Amino acid sequence: MLEEPVDAAFAGSYPSRVQPVRLGSYGRIDGTEPLGRLGNLTLMATIWPTTPDKGEQGILSRFDPETNAGFALAIGSDGGATAILGHGSGAPIRLSVGKALKARTWYRIWASFDRAKDRLVVGQTPISPSPFTDLAGTASLTLEGEVLSDGGCCLLIAASGGEPVSGHFNGKIEAPAIFDRALEPAEIEAAAGGEPPQGLVAGWDFSREISGTRIVDIGPAGVHGELVNLPARAMTGSTWTGREMCWRHAPEDYAAIHFHDDDIYDCGWETDFSFTVPHGFRSGVYAARLRCGEHEDRVPFFVCPPKGSRQADLCVVIPTFTYVIYGNHARPDFGEHWRRRAAAWNAYPWNPADHPEYGLSTYNFHSDGSGICHASRLRPILTLRPGFVSIAEQRGSGLRHFQADTHLLAWLEAKGFDFDVLTDEELHHEGVEAIAPYRTVTTTSHPEYHTAETLDALQQYRDGGGRLMYLGGNGFYWRVALHAEAPGVIEIRRGEGGIRAWAAEPGEYFNAFDGAYGGLWRRSGRPPQELAGVGFSAQGLFEGSYYRRSPQASDPRVSWIFEGVDDDILGNFGLSGGGAAGYELDRVDRRLGTPEHTIILASSQGHSDSFVLVPEEHLTHVTTWPGAPHQDLIRADMVFFEAPKNGAVFSTGSITFCGSLCHDGYDNNISRILENVLTRFLDPEAVLQTAAQRGPLS
């Protein structure tokens, strides 16, 4: 690792302390004291449990486990709908239906208390009765002298109570409601989808304000709530049939929220120190080094130039959306070999697979088996640390993302190219203005996740005379959304198609955060080829092969790129998988938007049998979407094309490209090619297109 110490005003000693991470999402409603004094009572909710067997889980709870006061509707330790009634002394009364709920099945569950009759009833009834099993049940109990007690505090949805909050529920909840009388079973039956029965005090309609964090009470009490730790919204509800696939067209069919006991948004840790970037501070990649006893950690941050100014002609866009989306990725191939590698290399020793307590990545599953669709940076991210090794492969360094991207930064420094850094967030919020002043803008190895705003910014930059380098693979692939109220979190729906870590459920392809159709940009009519000339085509193990120079490379439009390079075989070396063309490969496709005048400079060859065509390129077992044989599509294309106003694009089509730059003391054919491209791109006098091309392009 190459590190340079930097003076910082915050350098010094600070007291340290344990700061917890409280995983688990729930709804919290304050100001519900009047509900604690109700005489008669019914609690009701429609639920789709995913782990009914995991132990007690609160559905609708105003219960204080410290004082045993209050009441709750829950899933009991036997997996059945359960009423909990506290009376302030001794253990609360728990009354269960006594029949475990079936996972991933819609039920209405309820608990009612009739004070005059001293009668407690709990019930569960499936929304669609099974032809095979009787899933319904009720239980009742006559109490002697028990009186409802006030659980104080607040009302929780999808958790039991306590401080810290415990008893988190896994699954979907729809239309939780409280009534001031004991409803009859027939009334509860009739409540399905229609008008709520008489006596509604408070009821939360999750089909309202789906993109927000507020939950809206449609009852007379008007006690609205807040969601904690961002459970998934815009989830199909009990009435969803497939007649509408977009929640904006039928919000009533999306009145469910999916809660998870391992959701996390903001750890909410106290601030120990802050850093005001001094005037004149160099833009770049920094880290705050934290030490405590024998422990050490480095927290990276990216310093942009002051807004509206630049310190260099080159801008490196740091793909922070992709870093965060991958944040705390616990890889399925993690094991002892990784620990051995980390120890032998003195690499970052902590791995999310061993430490899920900070919340895992959108490449992982929740504890209930559903895919994680939210990624927050307001928590420690172990994968986003200098020296973290992603993959303990035999060939190469096994670095990806932040760590692999430093291969490029090290090369730029070694070659004396000054650069500024910006992140995806500036690109998203400030648009093309953030990058317009630069002569060249480059990506790093894997700019995979984009919003419409970041793609627009790059495209407008390119079409305004900018010179864009895409030095990676599988870029501009997935469509993500930011939250309007909650900064620092990204949503991804792993919709139809694509190399996916999990698959979104039917009907749940539209983002909750911005209402757009999630999934691949290609499915939204914006394939990567339109911007960069190449797009994702094949993936294999973390191995790199080489490119072979194409006959078109001698075209005078591009021959300058190969100045000083005599080899036909390019990049058969490197830290990333052992070769410049590997792991994730992009190729040209005119039907997907590669500009007509694009020149293929080189294409990769020699990939092992581990490489497969991405799913969206398959039609049948023998045919592909482009019509070419499978094997022909397993390649990276290195391309160049001119853009309007003397702009241009250079793309490498391989995620392992940057890993080859440092080979042989930065003196190799990959390094030379990039140096030729960048030198010319940075030269304002350089004319990058012939008059013949300039005509139709401008």
Q: Which residues lie near Fe ion (CB under 5 A)? A: 448
Write the CA distances from 131 to 126, 134, 185, 512, integer angstroms: 11, 8, 21, 34
Report the residue number, 231 or 447, with the smaller CB distance to Fe ion: 447
Minimum CB separation of residue 691 from Fe ion in Å reads: 40
Minimum CB separation of residue 405 from Fe ion in Å reads: 13
What CA–CA distance (Å, rounded) separates 412 from 420?
A: 11
Write the CA distances from 562 to 71, 472, 585, 632, 669, integer angstroms: 75, 19, 22, 25, 9
Minimum CB separation of residue 478 from Fe ion in Å reads: 8
Report the residue number, 261 or 448, with the smaller CB distance to Fe ion: 448
Report the residue number, 114 or 584, with the smaller CB distance to Fe ion: 584
Question: Residue 58: helix, strand or coil by DSSP?
Answer: strand
Report the residue number, 180 or 448, with the smaller CB distance to Fe ion: 448
Report the residue number, 440 or 444, with the smaller CB distance to Fe ion: 444
Minimum CB separation of residue 381 from Fe ion in Å reads: 16
What CA–CA distance (Å, rounded) separates 239 from 548?
A: 56
Contacts of 283 (CB under 8 A, 6+ apart): 303, 304, 305, 311, 312, 419, 420, 421
Report the residue number, 322 or 545, with the smaller CB distance to Fe ion: 322
Write the CA distances from 325 to 228, 364, 695, integer angstroms: 20, 10, 42
What CA–CA distance (Å, rounded) separates 677 from 691?
A: 20
Of 614, 544, 562, which Cα lies nearest the Cα of 586?
614
Report the residue number, 420 or 448, with the smaller CB distance to Fe ion: 448
206: Cα separation from own chain's centroid: 22
Give φ, ψ of 162 to 5 degrees: 90, 175
Minimum CB separation of residue 314 from Fe ion in Å reads: 24
Q: In the block, which residue shows the tokens 């408070």?
A: 202
Report the residue number, 168 or 479, with the smaller CB distance to Fe ion: 479
Report the residue number, 477 or 547, with the smaller CB distance to Fe ion: 477
Name the residue whose CB lies closest to Fe ion: 448
Minimum CB separation of residue 322 from Fe ion in Å reads: 7
- Token duo for residue 245: 């696939």
- Token duo for residue 70: 């209050």
Minimum CB separation of residue 448 from Fe ion in Å reads: 4
Q: Residue 14: how many CB atoms within 10 A of its CB?
A: 10
Report the residue number, 586 or 637, with the smaller CB distance to Fe ion: 586
Minimum CB separation of residue 392 from Fe ion in Å reads: 18
Contacts of 658 (CB under 8 A, 6+ apart): 404, 405, 407, 408, 411, 444, 445, 471, 472, 576
Report the residue number, 544 or 647, with the smaller CB distance to Fe ion: 544
Minimum CB separation of residue 326 from Fe ion in Å reads: 7
185-204 burial, b if ≥16 CB within 10 A, otherwise e? eebbeebeeeebbebbbbbb
Of 628, 669, 426, which Cα lies nearest the Cα of 546?
669
Q: Which class for 151: exposed (0-12), middle (13-18), buried (19 or more C-beta within 10 A)?
A: buried
Contacts of 291 (CB under 8 A, 6+ apart): none
Report the residue number, 106 or 477, with the smaller CB distance to Fe ion: 477
Beta strands in 454-510 (DSSP E): 467-470, 478-482, 489-492
Minimum CB separation of residue 317 from Fe ion in Å reads: 16
Report the residue number, 390 or 669, with the smaller CB distance to Fe ion: 390
Element (H, E) at 376: strand 374-376
Minimum CB separation of residue 585 from Fe ion in Å reads: 12
Minimum CB separation of residue 374 from Fe ion in Å reads: 17
- Token duo for residue 45: 């909710």
Question: Residue 187: helix, strand or coil by DSSP?
Answer: helix
Question: Residue 391: helix, strand or coil by DSSP?
Answer: coil
- Token duo for residue 624: 């592909």
Report the residue number, 426 or 448, with the smaller CB distance to Fe ion: 448
CB 230 within 8 A of CB 213: yes
What CA–CA distance (Å, rounded) separates 13 from 432?
A: 41
What CA–CA distance (Å, rounded) separates 424 from 411?
A: 22
Minimum CB separation of residue 519 from Fe ion in Å reads: 14
Report the residue number, 42 or 445, with the smaller CB distance to Fe ion: 445
Question: Residue 195: helix, strand or coil by DSSP?
Answer: coil
Minimum CB separation of residue 630 from Fe ion in Å reads: 21
